[in-house]
Amino acid sequence: MPLAMLATMARTTLSVPVAVRNTFAAVAASRNTTMLALLEELAQRLEREEALRQATESYQRLAEEDPQSLADYLAEGREWDALAADGLGDARAEFPEYNT
């Protein structure tokens, strides 16, 4: 997010223990960035992790409550994968010089 945009956003104060603040400050300094940029990055990462956690929990719940529906869903996904395949061989086998 551009710094100009951050400057125009509403702000709030968050009270945290000094040790927590110092940890964020040290990590930000080691990355040569600001604490605000670090906190934004961490908030976005936490948001992605939470979305994945909720999705995983939903799949687990479906597996427990309706295993047949989950099996049907997974089978449909495999069908779409097969349909989307372009029929080309594996590039790793065709171009081994680019494999690292």
C-alpha distances in angstroms, 80 versus 84, 85, 87? 6, 9, 14
pLDDT of residue 75: 95
pLDDT of residue 98: 86
pLDDT of residue 61: 97
Please state the three-class secondary structure of 17-38 as a single string.
CHHHHHHHHHHHHHCCCCHHHH
Average confidence (pLDDT) per 10 residues, the chain, 100 residues: 66 92 97 95 96 97 96 92 74 83
pLDDT of residue 32: 97
pLDDT of residue 7: 64
Distance CA 99, CA 76 (A): 32
Q: What pTM was computed for the model?
A: 0.65
pLDDT of residue 3: 60
pLDDT of residue 23: 97
pLDDT of residue 72: 96
